[in-house]
Amino acid sequence: MAGFQAIKNWMSNWFGSAVQKTAPVDAEAVVAAVSVLLEKDFELSASKKCVALMQAVEQQSFVKDYYRYPFYFWKPRLSDGAKKLFREGWRAVFARHEDVSAKMVILALAGRLAPPNDKFAEALNKVAEMDWSCLGDALAEEFCALLQAQRKYEILFPAAEEFLRRPTFETRQKMLLCDFYVQAVYQRLKKKVFQNILNADDLAHMHAVVDTCGEILGQECANMHHYQGLLACMENDLEAAVKHHEQARTLPGYSTQFFRAGLNMVSLATMHTLAATPTSEFAENPAFFQKIIYKFRHGSGGDATLLACDETYFKAYAAGFCRSYGALNPGKILHIHAIGFEPTEMELEKLEADFGVIINVSLDPGPAQDISNDLRRGYCAGARYIHLPTYLDHYSRIIVNDIDGIVHRSFDDVWAGHGGKVLLSTLVLEADRKGHFAFWSNIGAGAFGIESIPSHRQFAQALANFLTRRFNECDKKDERFFFSDQVGLLLCVLAFKGQVPMIRMPQVFRQSTQTSQVGRDAAKKDAQSALFKSMVEGKSKMASK
C-alpha cells in the first residue's frame, strides 16, 4: 500500500506541474502509475487523475495546435515491457467494471497505451452499446475521439450531435466536436459520392450540419471555412473549395488531422506563378537538391516507372512490386528514388535476376535529421514529385507508382492512345460528376503519368515548387505535409485545365491493404503477394478462354 500511495502522491505532484506546462514528459513514470492501477483494480479516482495527467502532457506539444490520436505520442516513449504489461492487463479490468464512466476511463488509458487492435474495438463497441450520454465532458470528448480513430462514424454522428448541445464545453472542445460531427456525415456520404448518386437531400443534410456548427462556432474560424470547402467539393465547385480552404489558413481554429489537410491550399494564381519559377528560389537549402546522386545503371532517354521509398519500404515491398512489374514490362526501366539509404549492387542485381527488371537508382540523403517523423514520412511520399522536373530531363515518358502494391497493366498499354496527355488517377476529369470527395482525397498520387514535353513540364514545375515550398512551411509551422501531393496534383489540374491536356488514367496500380491495426506492415506485404497471385490467376483464366 505504501508503494501505491507513493505513486498517487507522485501523480498529484507531477500533474500539478504539468498543468503549468513546465513538467518534462516522463512516459515511463506515467506507465508506472498505470501499472499500479492495474494491480489495484483501477481505483477510479486515481485512474481519472492519471488520464488527466496524460492529457496535460499531450497538451504541452502533441495536441496543442491540432488534434492527433494520442497513442502515437506514447507509443515510441514506452518500453516493450511497459507495453506488454498494459496490453495484457487492461481487458480483464475493463470486463470487471459495469459503470459506463469507469469503462470509459479504462478505454481512455487503453487508447494511449494499448495498440488499436480488434480487442480494443470490441471494448469500444461495449461502451457504445451503453448509455454514453451520461459521460462527463472530458470522457465525452474521449469517447468521440476514439470513435473517430476507429472510424465508427455511425456512432460518432449521434454522439457528437448529443454532446454539442452541452453549454459547458470550451471553444476548442467545440471545434473538435464539430470536426467529428461534420466528418461523420461526410464519411457516411462518401459511397454516394463515389457512385455519383449524391442527391439534394444528402446535400441539404450536410448543409444543416454545417449550419449547426456555424451557430456554435461562429463563421469566422478556420473550421467553418474547411467545412464550407468540403461542401463546395460535394457540390461540384472545386474552385470555390480552393478559396475556402485558403482562407482558413488566415483564421484561428483547432482541427483534426482530417481537416488539417486543407491547410495545404494555395490559390490557382499562385500555381501559375510557381510554374514559371525555378525550384532553386524555393529550396531553402539548395545543396539538399544538389546532393542527390543519380545512377543511370542502364542509361536514360526512354521510358521509366518511378518509385520513391526509404529503406524500410524497400526491403518490405520492392520484391513484390518488381515481381509484377517485370512480368508485364520486360525491358522497361524501373527507377527507384532511394531516400536515406543506398541499395547495394547485390540487392539490385538480385531483383533484376529474380524478376527480369532493369533498375536505375537515385540516392537522396533525405531531409535534415531534426525534422519531425511525420514530415520525414511525408517527404518519402512527395520526393518523386518534388524531383519530377529533373526526371523529365532524363526520361521521355514517366509513370509514377507507389512501391507497396502491384501493377496489373503494362506501361505501353497504359499510354496507348493517350500520347500528349497527363495521366491522372481521378474521377474529377469525368464530365458528368455530380460532386467530389474532400479536396485532398480526389486524386491518387500512387499512379500518375507524364511526358517530357513543354506543357507537361509546366505542370511538373508547378507541382515540384508547390511541394518544395510546402515542405518548408510545414517544417517551420509544424503543419501537415501528408496529402500535399494529392492537393498539389488537383491544384495543377484546376490551374492548367485548357492549357495542359489531361485524361483519367487507365487503372494500372493496385495497392495492398491500408489497415490501421497492429501488424499493418505485415498485412500490407501479404496483401501485395495476394494481389499478384490474383492478377496471375486472372490472366491465366483469360488466356484459357
Lowest-pLDDT choice from 65-79, 166-180, 238-252: 65-79
287, 316 contact by CB (below 8 A): no
pLDDT, greater one: 333 or 537: 333
Residues sharing a CB contact under 8 Å with residue 142, sequence separation 6 or more, in sequence order = 51, 104, 107, 108, 111
- The conformation of residue 67, written as its DSSP 8-state character, comes to B
Q: Which CATH class is domain 179-264?
A: mainly alpha
Q: How far apart are CA 119 and CA 29, in angstroms?
A: 26
Residue 22 has what pLDDT? 41
503, 423 contact by CB (below 8 A): yes
What CATH number should be reported for the domain whose range is 268-511? 3.90.550
Mean model confidence pLDDT for the chain: 86
Cell numbers that stand for 306 in this block:
518511378
Cell numbers that stand for 398 in this block:
514517366
Q: How far apart are CA 280 and CA 286, in angstroms?
A: 6
Lowest-pLDDT choice from 20-29, 223-232, 489-498: 20-29
127, 103 contact by CB (below 8 A): yes
Segment 334-375, tens digit of pLDDT: 999 999 999 999 999 999 999 999 999 999 988 766 777 788
Residue 182 has what pLDDT? 98
Q: Is the pLDDT of residue 124 over 80?
A: yes
Scored b (16 or more CB within 10 A) or e, 444-472 reads: bbbbbbbbbbebbbbbbbbbbbbbbbbbe
Lowest-pLDDT choice from 207-221, 242-256, 505-519: 505-519
Q: How far apart are CA 102 and CA 44, in angstroms?
A: 7
pLDDT band at 524 (very low <50, low <70, confident <90, very high): low
Q: How far apart are CA 148 and CA 311, in angstroms?
A: 31
- Angstrom distances, CA of residue 412 to CA of 42, 329, 429, 457: 63, 8, 22, 21
Residue-range domain boundaries for the chain: 2-150, 179-264, 268-511
Outline where 478-519 has alpha helix (H).
484-496
pLDDT band at 521 (very low <50, low <70, confident <90, very high): low
Q: How far apart are CA 403 and CA 391, in angstroms?
A: 18
User: Nearest CA to 221 among 264, 262, 250, 263?
Assistant: 250
Residue 54 has what pLDDT? 83
Cell numbers that stand for 18 in this block:
504539468
pLDDT band at 17 (very low <50, low <70, confident <90, very high): very low
Report, as an integer, the average pLDDT of 404-409.
Answer: 92
- The pLDDT > 70 percentage for the chain reads 82
pLDDT band at 11 (very low <50, low <70, confident <90, very high): very low
CA dihedral of residues 39, 41, 46, 52 (deg, nearest 10): 90
181, 163 contact by CB (below 8 A): no
Q: Is the pLDDT of residue 125 over 60?
A: yes
Q: Quote the pTM value.
A: 0.88
DSSP 406-453: EE-S-HHHHHTT-TTSEEEEESTT-TT-S----GGGSEEEEEEEEESS
Q: Is the pLDDT of residue 269 over 80?
A: yes
225, 260 contact by CB (below 8 A): no
Start-to-end CA span in the chain (Å): 76
User: What residues form DSSP beta bridges with 502?
Assistant: 422
Lowest-pLDDT choice from 41-55, 131-145, 416-430, 520-534: 520-534
Residues sharing a CB contact under 8 Å with residue 351, sequence separation 6 or more, in sequence order = 318, 319, 322, 357, 359
Residue 539 has what pLDDT? 55
Greatest mean pLDDT among 20-24, 131-135, 533-537: 131-135
- Tell me, rounded to whole angstroms, the distance of Cα 113 from its chain centroid: 21
- Tell me, rounded to whole angstroms, the distance of Cα 542 from its chain centroid: 37
User: Nearest CA to 190 among 148, 182, 515?
Assistant: 182
Lowest-pLDDT choice from 43-52, 327-336, 363-372, 466-475: 43-52
Residues sharing a CB contact under 8 Å with residue 57, sequence separation 6 or more, in sequence order = 18, 23, 25, 30
CA dihedral of residues 383, 384, 385, 390 (deg, nearest 10): 110
Residue 123 has what pLDDT? 95
Residues sharing a CB contact under 8 Å with residue 272, sequence separation 6 or more, in sequence order = 462, 495
E strands, 246-372, where?
A: 293-295, 303-309, 333-339, 358-364
Report, as an integer, the average pLDDT of 452-470.
Answer: 95
Q: Is the pLDDT of residue 413 over 50?
A: yes
Pairing of strands 293-295, 358-364: antiparallel
